[in-house]
Structure 1
């Protein structure tokens, strides 16, 4: 009877303010006393990274970023950091940029300042991932947790609407998985519910007014909450599926998560009534899957895995790789048969329901 749980809160400084990223970044670099900074940013964010760091002690600008962080890509980046005697990492962009910084930190223990321009949420977790020989490995290590995160909605204006939607639904997947993850607890649940509410508010605003800042602020806020909840609760069924699909078939990260999410929710929700009610309440609807389906329709969200190169011939191998990774506390028993059914529906893009 009563509440009984254990909860870890990760140590991290968060700065949140539209138009203030340059100020925050300079202050943080000074706080660390860094003199040889490695700035990691992809092509879309290269100009922004250059502007933010123009007056800072940058030893190296690095742009060789590959999604799912292949091991060879990580080793090239680590070598570059060592060759340039880097003493601080600054990553600007989405999950791939943050993931590469984490891969460097895992080997060097260098501190990270993360400046997200998407809603991936990796910046607020101590989870790393590397892909090698078609398999994605993940782990947890305090050394990869960014010491500082800087959120500035102004910097996300370059993120196209379609990718904003996919990335935001990836963040919502963090929230929903947190409600039945291996270490789910009431604190994670509260953070996740507020994250769902913020994302359900922010994403439609982005679609309706792509240049507006209010929707992007809400989405960044929701993404942070989702990641904090996820870091504590751990990977649930949804993320185990998507890690296999992304690492083995190199499917696009955000779109894969956005596509798979409603199928996992429809699968688990009937056996998780407390979580289902919390999700529905956060979405402002009678049922969780009804609310998510309505939101996805409004956002014109990604619908089918077949659109990203996943085939029906791939499903048996996916099932064999995913099944052993499903957490034992998943609300519903997962079998080869029902997992095959779930992946088949996600492949085709049929509308999931209870």
Structure 2
């Protein structure tokens, strides 16, 4: 982890000379970055890391001599380090990237096959932000969440200071960086008898479908990428598709979702605020909202609207977050009724 006494040392492992050059220039333009080294494949990277271990690794997946997944496994076994996957938007790239996230990768930078230099320059702020966030992340929480999820704790009565008023039929979850591991840890621990769940995880197009499929294969509940007019049913979790916003609606007494296009909100699409605001308007006191680990402030104002509408609102605590950004902003806005650890989220949802 980066400390206050030195800047971030980054190692870029990518067989594209364009990626190595442009990303190095972008990162070195930020005063928080002390040094950037770049190599063409994991074999060269291993030799360099024997001499100097980086704070953050930016890793391509498809490379000669050794693929990125194999290298990622070695890093996590030898010395767990924040690794950012630099992957194409292709469907195959999305599948492999989701496997990398399950192994403990910190995050993903997507790249097109064409127009690579222009894309990286346009995305300069996002690239630098994710590398800086990785350097200060609580990596132990990524590794812990990527391990076997915990057994569900027995339901316990609430503290008398925060009594449950009634059953909640809608659970809304918003998360970003570190969220893929956190959501897997939560959803795998849920029994089928839980309220309908709607989720926004900041993730590019194509990736959410792969993510939902992976979770569906692991969970007792049904997990799917949301489609327009999907019903929100007990024992089902709907994940907003990458590149589209998701809103809760109620027609004929039944909850469902609208999947819509629109501008970026808080620099994201899907945006947590779009979902939370719709839940505040439609479900009011029938909902519980959870804001989990993530960079930025998306979801904080929406969670506040949920609380003002009578929903139960919860923020993940700092100690269990990978990045304490979104929950921190929500807490500072007084949007959260309570603050709990990640390991308690599944138990709470099951109590509902």
TM-score (norm 1): 0.29
TM-score (norm 2): 0.29
Greater fraction of residues in helix: 1
